[in-house]
Structure formats: structure tokens, C-alpha cells
Amino acid sequence: MLREFELDMPGNLQETLARLPGGTLLAGGTNLLVDLRARREDAERLIWLGNIDGFRDIKIEDGRVIIGGGTTIGDLLRNPAMAEAAPSLVAAARVFGGQMVRNQATVAGNVCSGSPAADTVPPLLSLDAEVHLTCSTGSRTVPLNDFYTGFKTNQRKHDELVTGLSWAAPGPHTANLFYKLARRKGDAITVVGVAVTVTRDGDRCTEARIALGAVGPTVFRAKDAEAMLTGEPLADDLIDSAARKAMEESSPIDDLRASADYRRHCIHVLTRRLLKQAWEDAA
């Protein structure tokens, strides 16, 4: 049995916002209900977000993708526009849980869980996504890059709701890739996740983003490595040096799934591969 709690089921956004203080948000429930059962979580009042109209909508306006706070991982896979508007995120969605969990888990919930192994976060960081937060008195937007404050902590205030995420769809000559390394191909916790975006202008890289998952207290961007690439032609040895730099920027730990040493090794390998692939794809 799950421990006892109150279940608040507001019918719209305004009601939801009004009830936020003191409550714990229940979106897909794929983390929260598991934590409640395992007694890692002791929320007394849950606020279910499933009755907010249009909360799962996905829109593309003027080249900018906006997904609602209730958009599920499955919604990403079912939306045919996403393959171009968020290639890395679609790649992550394909290796995210199983079909049922994908239909329940929300992107915003995955982002807010703050787990360094959260699969949607490296892609969203590589897309330079923004987090849209709303409370009963107003709204604000925080770059995802600034959202995390530490292991499983973030900038969302207790009276705020993530109402959506947005990012610019990759333009021409931009490649956006993700790879998840895990102990099993289907439905497994990430050992190392790498997402990269490379924008190319002729034989130069005009912008590069490298986001790394499960190798630090939060998912993060390897900015020193990115800086090595910007403005340069991505020759194999530069790619390799940048991949090494990304490895040096990480701070993985040993756990049941892998050692820190192996994780570092894989960051180097995967970052190198993805950058090389992205550089070719962006041509």
C-alpha cells in the first residue's frame, strides 16, 4: 500500500496555482509514487496536474518549440514534427522507460526531478531550452542552464509551477544528437548520457553545445569543451581534444551501475563520436 495522503485534484491552472503552497506536485507519478511506496517521500498533500486544459499541448511558433508542463515523453514520440524540432530529445524519448511510463512521465517532471540521470535534460540543455514558471502572481522564464542549483535542487519556488519548456528548433546546418549508455538497451537507468548540438557555417563551427548526464551532481554543459570548438573547423584531433576536455569537466561517481573511471572514459568516447557525427550531419 502507498502511505496515506490527501489528493488534491484542481480543475484548472488558476485553482492549481492557488493550492501550490504546501503541496507536492503529482504529474506523471512515475517518480513520486515510487518514492512514496519506498518511503523515500512523505508528502502529505499531492496536487494532481492532470486536469489542466491544454497542459499537454505542443506548439511550434516562429521556429520556437513550446511544450506544455504536462507534455509526456510519449507525446514527443507521437508528434511527427519533433523529429526535426528536437532530434536529441526524440532520441532520449525512445530510450526513456517503457511505453506506459513514457505515456505517464512528463518532460517537466523529468526536468524537475533534478536527477543527474534524467534522460530529457541533456537534450534540452543541448537545445538551450528555457523553463517557464508561473505562480499566482506572475510568470518568469529561467534558462535551463541556470535552473539547477545542486543535486536534485532547482530554482522552482514552492508556489511555482513549470507550465512549459521552450527552445528554438535547430535551423539548417545544425545537428543535434543524443546517446544514452546503459546496462541494458530497453528501459534502464543511464550510465552516461551525452547530447551535442553543432551549428556549422561552411567549414567552421559557429556554435557547439555539449550536455552531459549522470556524470556530476546535475546534468551540465561542458562549456570549456564547447569553447574549444566555437569558430573552429572541427578536425578529428580538435574533436578529440574537446571530448577529453568534456571528460575533465565531469565529476562522475562510482555506483552500482558503473565506476567513475569507466564513466569518464565513455564521456570521452561518446562526446567524440557525437561531435564527429554532428559535424558531418550539419554540413
- Pick from 32, 71, 77: nearest CA to 165: 71
- Using the minimum distance from each CB to other proteins, give the nearer residue, 142 or 188: 188
Whole-angstrom distance, CA of residue 218 vs CA of residue 209: 16
Map grid coordinates 511550434 to a residue.
60
- Using the minimum distance from each CB to other proteins, give the nearer residue, 209 or 268: 268
Q: Do the beta carbons of residue 120 and residue 112 sit within 8 Å?
A: no
- Using the minimum distance from each CB to other proteins, give the nearer residue, 98 or 150: 98
53: number of Cβ within 10 Å? 11
Whole-angstrom distance, CA of residue 263 vs CA of residue 173: 30
Map grid coordinates 581534444 to a residue.
241
Whole-angstrom distance, CA of residue 90 vs CA of residue 82: 7
Q: Please report how close the Cβ of residue 57 comes to other proteins at its closest, in angstroms.
A: 16
Q: Please report how close the Cβ of residue 269 comes to other proteins at its closest, in angstroms.
A: 4
Kindly list the residues in this chain that would bind other proteins in the complex (CB under 8 A): 1-7, 9, 26, 28-30, 33-34, 37-38, 48, 50, 74, 78, 94, 97-104, 181, 183-189, 191, 256, 258-259, 262, 265-266, 269-270, 273
- Using the minimum distance from each CB to other proteins, give the nearer residue, 67 or 266: 266
Q: Please report how close the Cβ of residue 41 comes to other proteins at its closest, in angstroms.
A: 13
- Using the minimum distance from each CB to other proteins, give the nearer residue, 203 or 280: 280
Whole-angstrom distance, CA of residue 253 vs CA of residue 264: 10
Map grid coordinates 530510450 to a residue.
95
- Using the minimum distance from each CB to other proteins, give the nearer residue, 98 or 171: 98
Q: Show the DSSP H helices in 68-175 as ranges.
A: 73-78, 82-85, 87-94, 99-104, 107-113, 121-126, 144-147
Pairing state between β 64-68 and 58-61: antiparallel
End-to-end CA distance of the chain: 55
Q: Please report how close the Cβ of residue 97 comes to other proteins at its closest, in angstroms.
A: 6
Q: Please report how close the Cβ of residue 250 comes to other proteins at its closest, in angstroms.
A: 15
Q: How far is CA 74 from each of CA 60, 130, 164, 184, rounded to the nearest angstrom?
A: 17, 20, 16, 20
- Using the minimum distance from each CB to other proteins, give the nearer residue, 7 or 171: 7
Q: Please report how close the Cβ of residue 184 comes to other proteins at its closest, in angstroms.
A: 4
Whole-angstrom distance, CA of residue 271 vs CA of residue 242: 8
Q: Is 198 helix (H, G, I), strand (E, B) or coil?
A: strand
- Using the minimum distance from each CB to other proteins, give the nearer residue, 47 or 129: 47
Q: Please report how close the Cβ of residue 239 comes to other proteins at its closest, in angstroms.
A: 14
Q: Please report how close the Cβ of residue 72 comes to other proteins at its closest, in angstroms.
A: 9
